[in-house]
Chains A and B, each alone.
Chain A
């Protein structure tokens, strides 16, 4: 079974600065998808960024980018120019490309942004 680990329960960043959230995963599969989701107090999970394992190029979405290290099974999220609205829980998630549509989530990282 796949597992996803987020080793930082809480992180703090100053507004306008850069922060990196860590995620590692364990799988024996060669093809899969990795995601970062944001969950603000409104509770809705919002997709931040998506990475396909067979693509070597790291995904980027505006201020959000990932560092995907397939051999190390590491998938970190970098948030540049942090904004107050970035404060939320962030979840890393894994989905197999072969089997079910199920997402396996990490335990989450609470990001606080200081003005």
Chain B
């Protein structure tokens, strides 16, 4: 059974650009959550999607957005990148909200 797949693994972007990260959950998992991990702030919740609907959003500016498709795949987008957006972005999926999570290996975003 394939795990949670995040692409790309690494990404380097310039300040002011935008970026889209992708997450393919485990087959059958309909709930997808995103987390940002930085040395300074630790792990912080970004958003959660279930059946193409955003259920919750963390305390992040509007530059951070996401969506979920009918096949449960999810993307997150960050516009007008800032240096502080450099982080590991982790995606997690579960069969339903409240079930156990399986995390992907993350996308390492570096903003220069």
Q: Which residues of A contact B (CB under 8 A)?
A: 37, 42-47, 50, 91, 97, 100-108
**B42–A107 CB distance below 8 A:** yes
Given contacts A43-B88, A45-B90, contact A105 B42 (CB under 8 A): yes
Q: Which residues of B contact A (CB under 8 A)?
A: 3, 31, 33, 35, 42-43, 45, 48, 50, 55-56, 58, 88, 90, 92, 94, 97-98, 100-106, 108
- Interface residue SS majority, chain A: loop
**B45–A102 CB distance below 8 A:** yes
When distances are taken between beta carbons in the complex, the residues of chain A under 8 Å from B42 are 105-108
A104: contacting residue among B33, B45, B55, B90, CB under 8 A: B45
Bound-complex Cα distance A35 to B48 (A): 18
**A102–B56 CB distance below 8 A:** yes
Report the nearest B residue to A6, measured CB to CB: B42
A101: contacting residue among B31, B104, B106, CB under 8 A: B31
Report the nearest A residue to B48, measured CB to CB: A101
Given contacts A43-B88, A45-B90, A45-B92, contact A103 B101 (CB under 8 A): yes
Further 20 A-B residue pairs, CB within 8 A, beyond A44-B3, A102-B33: A43-B90, A43-B105, A43-B108, A44-B103, A44-B105, A44-B106, A45-B92, A46-B103, A47-B100, A47-B102, A50-B100, A100-B48, A100-B55, A100-B56, A101-B31, A101-B33, A101-B50, A103-B33, A103-B101, A105-B42
